Amino acid sequence: MATEVLGLPFDVGAASAWLVWILPFIAALIMPGIGKISKHATGYAAVGFALMSALSAASLLPMALEVHEIHDQISWIDSIGLKAGVLADPLSIIMANVVGWISFLIMIYSTGYMKGDKSITRFWFWMLFFIGSMQLIVLSDNLLQVFFGWEGVGLASYALISFWYRDKKKDHVGIEGRTVLGLLDYYSPTHAGMKAFIMTKVGDVMMI
C-alpha cells in the first residue's frame, strides 16, 4: 500500500523490517574505522545508528495496529534453495520496538557511563552487535536465522559481561566473602561472562 502511494519500486514496510536488524550490524562493522579517526565520535555514531534502527521498528507500528503481516525473502544460497527472510507480524513488530527503544535508551546512558574508557570502540561494537542479533531473532522467518541471532546474542553477552577482562578487583561483581546457598557470590568479569556463555549454550542444545 505504502509503495503504491509513494511510487517506489520496493516495499517500504519490508525494507524497514530488514533495516531494523541490518543497521546495527553495519554500525558494528564500521565502528573500528570510526574509532581510528575519533573515539569521541564513536558514541555519536553508535547512538545514531541505534536510533535509526528504533525508528525503522517504529515505522512498522501502523501495520501492527492494522493487523498486517510483512513477509519478505531473498535468495541466500541458491544451490540448495536456501532463502533469508523477515517476518514482521503484530507480535514481532511490538517486540522489535521494545528491543529497539530500550536499546536506544541504554546507548544514550552508556555515553556517560563509559565516558573516558580506553576500550570504548570495542564496547560500542559489541553493543551494536547485540542489538542486531536480538532484532534478528525477533524478525527472522526461519529457524536457521533465529539460531544465528541466538548465537550472536550469546557471544555479545559474553563479550560485554566480561568487558573488563583484566579482572581488576574494582570490576568484580557481588560482595566479597558473601555466599548464597553455600556458593560464593563474588565473581570476576570473565567468570561472570563465562557463566552467561554456558547458559546460552544450554539454550543452543534445546534449539538443536
Which among 125, 165, 142 has a CA at the least distance from the CA of 42?
Answer: 125
Query: Rounded distance, CA 183 to CA 176, Å?
Result: 12
Cβ neighbourhood burial of 22 (10 Å; 0-12, 13-18, 19+):
middle
Number of H helices and number of E strands within the chain?
8, 4
Query: Rounded distance, CA 191 to CA 193, Å?
Result: 5
pLDDT at 183: 63
Which among 130, 99, 160, 109 has a CA at the least distance from the CA of 24?
Answer: 130
Intervals of the chain under pLDDT 70: 1-10, 165-189, 191-193, 195, 204, 207-208
**Which residues lie closer than 8 Å to 46 by C-beta, 6 or more apart?**
27, 31, 107, 124, 127, 128
Query: Rounded distance, CA 83 to CA 85, Å?
Result: 6
Domain residues of the chain, as ranges? 2-161
Which among 4, 94, 103, 90 has a CA at the least distance from the CA of 46?
Answer: 103
Residue with cell 501502523: 62
Using the Cα atoms of residue 144, residue 140, residue 24 and residue 129 in order, give the sign of their dihedral: negative
The number of beta carbons lying within 10 Å of the beta carbon of residue 103 is 23
pLDDT at 32: 95
Tens digit of pLDDT for each residue in 132-188? 999 999 999 998 999 999 999 989 998 898 887 665 655 566 666 566 666 666 566
